[in-house]
């Protein structure tokens, strides 16, 4: 990327933003021919003012267009910035494993160290500390990949693969939060293959859940529904007998909930009801909310998904009613990421009802709980933009301050 001419970099980021040359030209106030010449290197970009204008339209740091390392934003303590996304991308683009067929693998980090780092990364993600996670994730990816390669023909092969599968899942979840859905899909897909080598069908099952989440984020609701239902059906065998262990119930239940979200996106309310009913049954068998395989699955999380599915179907009142019926103690026991995520869903429900004041309150409550979940997610930005647009007069000081911190115009 650093060796690309600036025109190629412009074309690269325009493609990443899913903008045609015409749309890009219109936003710049230029002609399509001008854009085409810039991208082909026929026309030079020698004015910083134009480069910064292009960077603003593309939503990237101007330093990236110049082939330099971007300056970290002041708010990157909470959010994943462009530099970190590119570092994660570079780690995912490595294919060092194939070299093990030809060369001796380098000395890997001890598996105990990798295991400790992976556990810390999961906790960091589930406490919505995305900036901290992003700074450590590229190195963790490289170390887990190195361990997987080095231990491939030893007694530690399955554990190394298991740890790498987890790291891919963490990366997939974090990238999806940021809106990097294609990368999220790639990381989740990698996790499925690695999890199979690890010999853990539940790890592969929850990797399928991550694939479904990435597909849903990409707007591929039907494939997302299919992948969740197919794997859930395989896990459903003997769930009433010895196979109904807590870990299996948790993975099975999350697949059903993710399938319900996909079904809601397609508008199939009957399928949503069936899948949530199945998840409720699994949660009741489990007997509480647990974090087996990092799912946070249980009766409370089922209610959260029931509310989220109602929002997807445009049933804001149903979502708010579900929110009000959630057990406060169960909700308070959930990890910060889950609770703040729910506040975003309920805020969206209130906007559907036309109550922007309540929507603003939920965003502020989520921001107090887990700032990165509110400030970093495109979904929260969209809701806040809607709240500000529909607020009569000057918005309240707290919501105006939040908008300023998030870079959302008042």
In this prediction, residues 21-36 reach a mean pLDDT of: 91
> Which tops the pLDDT comparison, 254 or 403?
254
118 and 214 co-located in one domain: yes
Which residues on adjacent β-strands are paired with residue 290?
Answer: 297
**Is residue 86 domain-shared with residue 29, that is, in the same domain?**
no
Q: Please tell me which residue, 156 or 226, carries the higher pLDDT value.
A: 226
Q: Which domain holds residue 12?
A: 6-65
The answer on 52 and 116 residing in a single domain is no
pLDDT at 108: 76
Identify the domain boundary among 174, 196, 219.
219
Same domain? 17 vs 115? no
CA 81 – CA 69 distance, rounded (Å)? 12
CATH number of the domain within which 22 lies: 1.10.260.40
210 & 92 share domain? yes
Per residue in 59-85, pLDDT tens?
A: 777 777 887 655 554 444 457 666 677
Per residue, the 3-state secondary structure of the chain, as one string, reads: CCCCCHHHHHHHHHHHCCCCHHHHHHHHCCCHHHHHHHHHCCCCCCCHHHHHHHHHHHCCCHHHHCCCCCCCCHHHHCCCCHHHHHHHHHHHCCCHHHHHHCCCCCCCCCHHHHHHHHHHHHHHHHCCCHHHHHHHHHHHHHHHHHHHHHCCCCCCHHHHHHHHHHHHHHHHHHHHHHCCHHHHHHHHHHHHHHHHHHCCHHHHHHHHHHHHHHHHHCCCHHHHHHHHHHHHHHHCCCCCCCCCCHHHHHHHHHHHHHHHHHHHHHCCHHHHHHHHHHHHHHHHHHCCCECHHHCCECHHHHHHHHHHHHHHCCCHHHHHHHHHCCCHHHHHHCCHHHHHHHHHHHHHHHHHHCCHHHHHHHHHHHHHHCHHHHHCCHHHHHHHHHHHHHCCCCCCHHHHHHHHHHCCCC
Q: Of 18, 45, 65, which residue constitutes the final position of a domain?
A: 65
The CA distance from 402 to 48, in Å, is 31
Whether 215 and 79 share a structural domain: yes
Asked if residue 214 is part of any domain, the answer here is yes
Q: Give pLDDT, residue 99.
A: 47
Shared-domain flag, residues 143 and 215? yes
Model confidence at 275: pLDDT above 50: yes
Tell me, yes or no, whether 178 and 53 share the same domain.
no
Position 16 in a domain: yes
Domain endpoint, select from 33, 65, 97: 65
Structure tokens at 164: 């790498």
Of the candidate ranges 100-104, 192-196, 285-289, 370-374, the one whose mean pLDDT is the lowest = 100-104
User: So what's the pLDDT on residue 185?
Assistant: 95
Same domain assignment for residues 48 and 103: no
> Which percentage of the chain shows pLDDT scores above 70?
90
pTM recorded for the entire structure: 0.80
Indicate if 203 and 114 belong to the same structural domain. Answer: yes
The per-residue pLDDT for 62 is 76
| Total tally of structural domains belonging to the chain | 2
Examine residue 252 and state whether it is found in any structural domain, yes or no: no
CA distances from 378 to 175, 177, 186, 293 (A): 12, 8, 20, 26
Q: Using pLDDT thresholds of 50, 70 and 90, give the confidence band for residue 241.
A: low
Give tens-digit pLDDT for 174-223.
Answer: 999 888 899 999 999 999 999 999 999 999 999 999 999 999 999 999 99
Based on the fold, state whether residues 32 and 159 are members of the same structural domain: no
Is 211 contained in some domain?
yes
The C-alpha angle 337, 334, 252, rounded to 5 degrees, equals: 90
Dihedral sign, Cα of residue 141, residue 144, residue 148, residue 150: positive
Mean pLDDT of 38-61: 84
Q: Look at residue 29 and tell me if it is in a domain.
A: yes
Average pLDDT of the chain is 88
Q: Determine the average pLDDT of the residues in 290-316.
A: 97
For residues 334-360, give the mean pLDDT: 96
- List of residues 6+ apart from 41 with CB closer than 8 A: 5, 7, 8
**Residue range 103-125, pLDDT digits in tens:** 445 677 899 999 999 999 999 99
State both tokens at 171. Answer: 């990366």
Look at the block and give the residue holding tokens 């806040």: 384
Q: What are phi and psi of 219, to 5 degrees?
A: 85, 15
In total, the chain counts a number of residues equal to: 410
Whether residue 232 lies inside any domain: the answer is no
One domain for residues 88 and 174: yes
**Is residue 190 included in any domain, yes or no?**
yes
Q: Read off the pLDDT of residues 83-92 as tens digits, 9 standing for 90 and up.
A: 677 788 888 8
Answer yes or no: is 179 within a domain: yes
Other beta carbons within 10 angstroms of residue 389's beta carbon come to 10
């Amino acid at each position: 990327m650093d060796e690309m001419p600036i025109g190629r970099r412009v074309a690269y980021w325009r493609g990443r933003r899913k903008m045609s040359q015409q749309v890009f030209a219109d936003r710049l106030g230029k002609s399509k021919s001008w854009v085409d010449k810039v991208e082909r290197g026929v026309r030079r970009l020698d004015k910083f003012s134009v480069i910064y204008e292009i960077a603003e339209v593309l939503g990237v740091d101007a330093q990236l267009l110049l082939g330099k390392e971007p300056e970290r934003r002041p708010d990157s303590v909470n959010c994943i910035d462009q530099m970190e996304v590119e570092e994660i991308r570079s780690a995912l683009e490595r294919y060092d494993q194939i070299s093990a067929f030809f060369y001796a693998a380098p000395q890997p980090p001890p598996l105990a160290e990798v295991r400790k780092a992976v556990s810390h990364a999961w906790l960091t993600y589930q406490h919505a500390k995305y900036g901290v996670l992003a700074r450590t994730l590229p190195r963790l990816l490289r170390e887990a990949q190195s361990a997987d390669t080095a231990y491939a023909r030893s007694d530690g092969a399955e554990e190394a693969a298991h740890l790498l599968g987890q790291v891919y899942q963490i990366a997939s979840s974090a990238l999806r939060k940021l809106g990097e859905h294609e990368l999220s899909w790639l990381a989740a897909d990698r996790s499925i293959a690695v999890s199979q080598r690890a010999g853990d069908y539940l790890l592969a099952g929850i990797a399928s859940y991550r694939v479904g989440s990435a597909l849903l984020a990409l707007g591929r609701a039907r494939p997302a529904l299919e992948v969740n239902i197919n794997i859930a059906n395989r896990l459903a065998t003997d769930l009433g007998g010895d196979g109904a262990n807590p870990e299996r119930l948790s993975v099975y239940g999350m697949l059903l909930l993710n399938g319900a979200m996909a079904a809601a996106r397609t508008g199939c309310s009957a399928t949503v009801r069936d899948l949530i009913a199945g998840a409720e049954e699994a949660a009741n068998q489990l007997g509480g909310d647990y974090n087996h395989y990092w799912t946070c699955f249980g009766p409370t999380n089922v209610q959260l998904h029931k509310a989220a599915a109602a929002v997807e179907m445009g049933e804001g009142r149903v979502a708010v009613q579900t929110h009000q019926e959630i057990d406060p103690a169960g909700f308070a026991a959930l990890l910060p990421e889950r609770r703040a995520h729910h506040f975003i869903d309920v805020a969206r429900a209130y906007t559907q009802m036309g109550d922007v004041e309540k929507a603003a309150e939920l965003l502020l409550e989520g921001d107090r709980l887990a700032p990165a979940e509110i400030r970093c997610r495109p979904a929260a930005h969209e809701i806040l933009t809607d709240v500000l647009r529909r607020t009569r007069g000057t918005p309240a000081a707290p919501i105006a301050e939040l908008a300023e911190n998030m870079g959302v115009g008042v």
